[in-house]
Amino acid sequence: MEYAYYPGCSLEATGRPYDVSLRLVFQRLGIGLKEIDDWNCCGATSYISMNKLTAYSLAARNLAYAERMGLDVCAPCSSCFTILSKVNRHMRWGDTSKANINEVLAAAGLSYSAQLEVLHPLNVLVDFYGIERIQERVVRKLEGFRVAPYYGCQIVRPQGRFDDREDPQQLDNLFAALGAEVVPFPLKVRCCGGMLMTSYEEVALRLNRDILGAARSAGADVIVTTCPLCQVNLEAFQDRINSTFGERFRVPVVYFTQLLGLALGLSPAELMLDAMIVPLPDCSPRPVEVHA
Amino acid sequence: MSKPAAVALPSKEAELRAAFWDQAATFPKGFKIRDCIQCGTCTGSCPVAHAMDVTPRELVALFRAGFLEEVLRSRALWMCASCYACTVRCPQGIRITDSVYALKRVASRMGIFPRTFPAHALSEAFVGNIHSFGRNWELWFGLRYYLATRPQRLVSATIQKFAVRMLRRRRLGLAPARVRGMKEVRAIIAKAQSIGGL
């Protein structure tokens, strides 16, 4: 098994723990991950709001490079996953849509046949690698962790290609198999607001308050996420939520690959669990020294 | 009963509608917005409808009643977080999120935005970053957005605390993330813009 890896911009900065833990988990399981050389931004929800042909053509540049590698694409960020999947579908929708984008790509000496699959790592791990095979590699059962599985929006919608759009089960099944107690989590696919935390903070704070509150009501002591935007919104703005709404949340929010990595015997430091703001129990943070 | 007489639209409205239908032709079944039964499932499913000046159901009603300019001036378009909850639940199969993107593109092209809040500035800052670097260098994106909208936010406790925390945890990209093949990126942008349309 080998995939063309599209990390996306967030995974180079705020989402680094996702990038680091994903690479290690795949390495440990023997799944190949080759980064697409010199990839560019997928455009997220912003470029498609301004100019669709430019947005899709820029995203397609990455797919063109993946095609040269002869590998299907693995995209961990929910927004990147959705945009790259949308471009793929768009190019398969009709001859004109494919021809238009290829006409633009030709200006950069590129072309794309729209034959690749775009996959999310959760999809790769659960459907292609298999939970049973993952279980065979487990060295530390996740007993004692009460996990709220948070999928967010864009890996289950709009298509729902690899899991249910209203009540997905893949994180639930994965973490139950790893020995964790997975709590029933009604807001598992509720939106965190994404970039609204920047543009309409008061709205986004409320959305995240609701999600954290649902996790608390369900008795969770950690939220696992699949998306860098969800992770930052839920974790980095927790104290702002507390001061705004008079709450006292202190819930760790980690990438699903970090918790999976612990089960596979990787250390908290390797998995960048020490880079989280709210520490997981037994995984105290050890931030690096900052020199002025 | 006789058929109601067609009402002539003001020329601006007709122009905006034509621009919208052009955009709606760029995704499958974009015309289905005509089939809306005003059931409100979209509004009921929308996590941010409570904060919108015009709810998703009302957007469609206004559009059909010939008030597209009001739709384009709404904050609601720029408040959509692209979560697709409305799209997957619409009983008529209307691709509401894609329709909102189409409306935003019309708004951008025609320069019609909500008067009181520069919400589109976020998209512009993001796109500007891609034009400069090929990637979204998060730090520069934040600076760009706040300088264009609310510079005083940059010295607020929330933003500073966020930056310091991320820096201490090796999660703030200080060096610009930049594509080596910017020549290709620029060629793609130039070509797509020369074709225009979509």
Residue B163 lies in a domain: yes
- Which residues does chain B have within 8 Å of residue A166's beta carbon, measured at their own beta carbons? 88
Q: Which residue, B63, B86, B110, sits at the end of a domain? A: B110
Are residues B84 and B151 located together in one domain of the fold?
Answer: no
Q: Is B47 helix (H, G, I), strand (E, B) or coil?
A: coil
Each residue of B63-97: pLDDT tens digit? 999 999 999 999 999 999 999 999 999 999 999 99
The domain that contains B39 carries what CATH number? 1.10.1060.10
Residues B105 and B128 in one domain: no
Query: Cβ contact (<8 Å) for A52 and B23?
Result: yes
Specify the number of domains making up chain B.
2
| Same domain membership, residue B175 and residue B92 | no
Q: Which residues of A touch B106 (CB under 8 A)?
A: none
Q: Which residue reads 């290609």 in tokens?
A: A161
Query: Is A49's CB within 8 Å of B197's CB?
Result: no
In chain B, the residue whose alpha carbon lies closest to the alpha carbon of A101 is: B192
Domains and CATH numbers, chain A: 2-119 (1.20.1050.140), 131-275 (3.40.50.11810)
Q: How many CB pairs under 8 A join A and B?
A: 201
Which residue in A has a C-alpha nearest to residue B87's C-alpha?
Answer: A158
Name every residue whose Cβ is closer than 8 Å to that of residue B156 and which is 6 or more positions away in sequence. Answer: none
Helix locations, B46-84, DSSP H: 56-64, 68-73, 76-79
Judgement on whether residues B74 and B162 belong to the same structural domain of the protein: no
Q: Where are the beta strands (DSSP E) in chain B?
A: none
Domain, as residue range, for B145: 120-195
What number is the ipTM of this complex? 0.93
CA-based nearest residue in chain B for residue A272: B169
In a domain? residue B71: yes
| Structural domain contains residue B50 | yes
Read off the pLDDT of residues A138-187 as tens digits, 9 standing for 90 and up: 999 999 899 999 999 999 999 888 899 999 999 999 999 999 999 999 99
Q: Is B5 within the bounds of a domain?
A: no
Please tell me the distance from the alpha carbon of residue A28 to that of residue A72, in angstroms, as a whole number: 20
Measure the CA angle with vertex A237, ends A232 and A241; round to 5°.
140
Indicate if B23 and B104 belong to the same structural domain.
yes
Q: Is A73:A59 a contact under the CB 8 Å cutoff?
A: no
CB A152 within 8 A of CB A82: no
Can you give the pTM of this predicted structure?
A: 0.94
For the beta sheet containing A73-74, the strands, ordered from the edge strand earlier in sequence to the opposite edge, are A32-35, A2-5, A73-74, A118-119
Kindly write down the DSSP assignment for every residue of A173-236, as one continuous string. Answer: HHHHHTT-EEPP-TTTT----TTHHHH-HHHHHHHHHHHHHHHHHTT-SEEEES-HHHHHHHHH
Residue ranges of chain A with per-residue pLDDT less than 70:
282-292
Closest-CA distance, A175 to chain B, in angstroms, reads 25
Q: How many residues does the structure list for chain A?
A: 292
